Structure 1
C-alpha cells in the first residue's frame, strides 16, 4: 500500500506562473523531494517574482507571464494564480506549447474546463488539475483497500472542509471567484468523486454572504447504492475529517483528510489497521506524477483524467446553480 516514491520520477524543468503561497509550496516540494527543478517564476510584478526567487532559490524571475512562457528552459508550467484566472493562464501556457499542471479548482466552471482540455488535446501537451490529494500515500492505500474488498460494498462517504478564512480578502471577492465551494469544497467533492464517481442526484443548500460569495455549503450526493454527505465553510474551522463506510468495515481519515495524514480501518470482525501517511509537504507526489507522464509521452494522468476534472467542475456547476452562486463575469 505505497505510493510511488517522488524521488524516483525522472527530472523535468518547472516554471511557476504566479508567486503566492501555494506556489511556494510547490517550489519547496519540487526542489527538496524530487529530482526536478524549478527554473523560473513569473508574475505581473518583477519585484514580486524576484522576491519569490530570492526566497526559494529559483534562478530566474520574470515580470510577466508571457516572458515565463517564452522561456525555452521551461518544460512544464504550474498555474498558481486564483482560480478565476486558471482558464486564461492555462490557455496561454498551452498555446506556448508548455505542459501544464493547473491548480484546483481546475477552472471557474465546466465550460471553461472543457475549453482548456480541448486546447491541450489539440496541442498535444500534458495537462492535469493539481488535486494533490489523489496522489498522496494514504489515498493510494485507501483505494487499494477498497479494491481488495476490505470494506465490502461502500455505502457512505462523509467529508468536510471548513477553514476560518474571514480575514482573507480574496475569499470574499466575487471577481476572483471567491467563496467556500471552489476553494475548499472542491476537496470533499473530488474525494467523493474519486471513490464513487459521478452522482445520480445532487442536493445542495448554501448561504451567500454580503459580497455575493458562498460562506458555507452542505451537499448530499446520491448514487445507485451509496450516498456522500459533504460540507464546506470558509467561516469556521471544522474537523476536516472523512469517513468511508462499507458493509464489511469503515475507514476513518484523520484531520486533515486531503493532506498527508493517517487513517484507521476498522473491520466488522473487530480487527483494526492503522496507516500512517504523514509526510512533509505532499505536493511532490503530484509533481512526480507529472514528470513520469511527460517522460512517458502521456498527455494526461490515469489518477485524475481530464474528463474526471470536467466531471468535478460539472458537479460544482450544479451545486452553484442550486445555491444561486453566480460570478460577475458569468452574468
Structure 2
C-alpha cells in the first residue's frame, strides 16, 4: 500500500482523493497539505487524514511514500525537485511544468533520487485512445510515420478572469 500525501486541496485534488480513498488496496492518502487549512479541515477529517500547511513537514514524514501534486503549475518544478530529494515518489497533475528547462530539471531530480515521477493525463483511458493504441499495437495501421491531433473545443471561451487558465503566469502557453 502506498501512503501518499495530497498537496493542494482544491476541487481537482478532491476528485483525486475521492477516486481512491477507501476504494483502493494500492494507494491511500494519509496526509494533506494546503496553504488554507481552515478551508479543507472538514474535508480532510471526513477522509481520515491530518492536514498541514508546511510542505517540508510532509516531505520529512518517513511514513509518507509519495506526494500527489494538485497545486498551481508555477509551483510544480520546485515541489518535484524537493520531493525527489526527500525520496518521495511524485504524481503531478498537468501541465507538468511551465518551461522545458524546469521539466528537464524535474525529471533529472527524480532520476537522480531513484523515485517514480508520473504525470496525470486524463485522456489516455478514453475509448478512442485505447482503441487507437490497440490498433497500433496490433500492427493493423502499419508503421506510424507521423501523427497529428486536434483536441480543441469551446472551453477557452468560458475561461474566468482570474482563473489559472486565463493567467499568463500560470498558463504561459495557453491551452498547450
Q: Which band: TM-score by shorter chain?
A: 0.7 to 0.9
Q: Distance in 1 between matches of 2:133 and 2:29?
A: 31
Q: Which residue of 2 aligns with 1:126?
A: 116
Cα-to-partner distance string for 1:142-198 (whole Å, 9 max, x where unaligned): 2112221334455664322331432252222223235632xxx3xxxxxxxxxxxxx
The structure 1 residue matched to 2:2, chosen from 4, 12, 15, is 12
Cα-to-partner distance string for 1:186-227 (whole Å, 9 max, x where unaligned): xxxxxxxxxxxxxxxxxxxxxxxxxxxxxxxxxxxxxxxxxx
The alignment partner of 1:13 has SS state of: strand
Q: Paired residues, what number? A: 170
Q: Which residue of 1 aligns with 2:168?
A: 174
Task: Give TM-score, length-normalised by structure 2.
Answer: 0.83
Q: Which residue of 1 aligns with 2:39?
A: 48
Task: Give TM-score, length-normalised by structure 1.
Answer: 0.47
Structure 2 CA distance for partners of 1:141 and 1:33, relative to 1, 3 Å: farther
Bigger drift between 165-174 and 37-46 goes to: 165-174
Q: Distance in 1 between matches of 2:60 and 2:43?
A: 19
The alpha carbon displacement at 1:23 in A equals: 0.8
The structure 1 residue matched to 2:51, chosen from 55, 61, 65, is 61
The alpha carbon displacement at 1:87 in A equals: 0.5
In terms of fraction of residues, the more strand-rich structure is 1
Contact 2:85 2:113 in 1 (8 A): yes
Q: Which has the higher contact order (CA 8 A, sep 6+)?
A: 1
Cα-to-partner distance string for 1:27-70 (whole Å, 9 max, x where unaligned): 11122542121111101222134244145x14211122222222
Q: Which one has a bigger Cα radius of gyration?
A: 1
Could you list the runs of 5+ residues in structure 1 that have no partner in the other structure? 1-10, 186-331
The answer to whether structure 1 residue 90 and structure 2 residue 80 are counterparts is yes
Q: Distance in 2 between matches of 1:143 and 1:96?
A: 36
User: Equivalent residues in 2 for 1:175-190 (5 A)?
Assistant: 175-177=169-171, 180-181=174-175, 185=176
Could you list the runs of 5+ residues in structure 2 that have no partner in the other structure? none
Q: Distance in 2 between matches of 1:153 and 1:122?
A: 35
Q: Which residue of 1 aligns with 2:95?
A: 105
